[in-house]
Amino acid sequence: MKQFLSFVHKEFYHILRDGRTMLILLGMPVVQILLFGFAINMEVQHIRTVIFDPAQDAATRDITERLTANPYFHMQGYVYSSDEINKLLQRGETDVAIVYEQNFNENLVHSKKAQLQIIADASNPNTGTIVAGYVTAIVGEYHPHIPYRIEVENKLLYNPEMKSAYTFVPGIMGLVLMIICAIMTSISIVREKERGTMEVLLTSPLKPGTVLISKTVPYLALSFINLITILLLSYFVLGVPIQGNLALLVAVSVLFIFLSLSLGLLISTLVQTQVTAVLISGIGLMMPTLILSGMIFPIGNMPEPLQWVSSAVPARWYIAAVKKVMIEGLGFTHVVKEVGILTAMVVFLIGASIAKIKNRL
């Protein structure tokens, strides 16, 4: 145990005296959580809107006033031809155009039916769909000539204010912990190989597996600090509450940190240079985590082969568990599946790393 602690102390000393490493370890998570939390926002606001109203009657004015009063819309004024609408959309000077038909109010009174066209810029499909949905909802509330009215009450669970941070914070936690832990662990061991000191470490009385574990303990401690930092920023800066049990959330996160460190260990046993380690653990892990983990794109919308591939992405199971505990407030019984899969991955990765390491390089 004394020799093991000596190895851990040595690794701590190497990390703490390297200012750049400390900046990456402790500074990058803060930058990423703030950048993703504030920059990535799925809410569509300040929708630039123009009106084409050849009718100019009471009904069209009433609907236009409702749109103007809505804080999501920025009314730019009236246009007087379809060509003018096309030019504004082509130049990117407006986001949506509302086109009323001739005799809008008269048709509404006599036939109980009038037409209104929404022309939205869908070069970004998500934005275009949301904008059209906003307009449709506002217009749908206008029923002055119908003798009865159906009132619909919407109840949004877990995220009533529809804040994007609720969606992205669990994903950011998975991305940051995965990339930071895997990169730093793999680099620390490969650096020993490049310097020729790994053979000296492996000739010590400690077994190769114990040597590897001793080099990951400091990164485990620093990753725990990152976890606490991310949770504090999420709660106090981004306003994302922790609905479930905090101890369970931390326990699941520590398990994921173990997994990420184990993955970094395995990468370090497969490569010989720090550049290769960075490429594999950084770029090689970032893209699957961003695309296949459910962080940005719903897994259920993916083709079935990609859904199977995403099952091998550790962040998928961690993000799902964090959402259940942190956002939905569920307990351990609801994350047994995710915890079981993450535990199996940890055992496999540690076993593969120990089996791969050689006593003689």
Tokens of 237: 């800066």
Residues of the chain under the 70 pLDDT cut: 1, 3-4, 7, 21, 37-43, 124-125, 144-157, 162, 196-206, 208-209, 357-361
Task: Supply φ then ψ for residue 232, to 5 degrees.
Answer: -65, -45
**CB 138: neighbour CB atoms within 10 A?**
17
Consecutive H or E run containing 30: helix 28-39
Q: Is 309 exposed, middle or buried (0-12, 13-18, 19+ CB in 10 A)?
A: middle
In whole angstroms, give the CA distance from residue 342 to residue 314.
7
Tokens of 143: 């029923």
Please report, for the chain, the start and end positions of each structural domain, with discontinuous segments joined by +.
Answer: 25-40+163-356, 47-140
**CB 35: neighbour CB atoms within 10 A?**
11
In whole angstroms, give the CA distance from residue 262 to residue 310.
19
Q: 287: Cβ–Cβ under 8 A, 6 or more apart, which residues?
A: none
> Which one-letter DSSP state was computed for residue 301?
G
**CB 344: neighbour CB atoms within 10 A?**
11
* Cβ atoms 290, 209 nearer than 8 A: no
Consecutive H or E run containing 306: helix 304-310
Task: Supply φ then ψ for residue 96, to 5 degrees.
Answer: -150, 145
Which residue type occupies 235? Y
Residue keyed to tokens 């970004």: 124
Q: What is the pLDDT of residue 150?
A: 44
What is the SS3 assignment for 308?
A: helix
Q: What is the pLDDT of residue 359?
A: 45
Q: What is the pLDDT of residue 360?
A: 43
Residue keyed to tokens 């300040």: 46
Domain 47-140 sits in CATH 3.40.50.300:
no
Q: Maximum Cα–Cα distance for the chain, whole Å?
A: 94
With DSSP H G I counted as helix, E B as strand and the rest as coil, what are the percentages for the chain, rounded to 5? 65, 5, 30
Which residue type occupies 285? L
The pTM of this model reads 0.76
Q: What is the pLDDT of residue 209?
A: 64
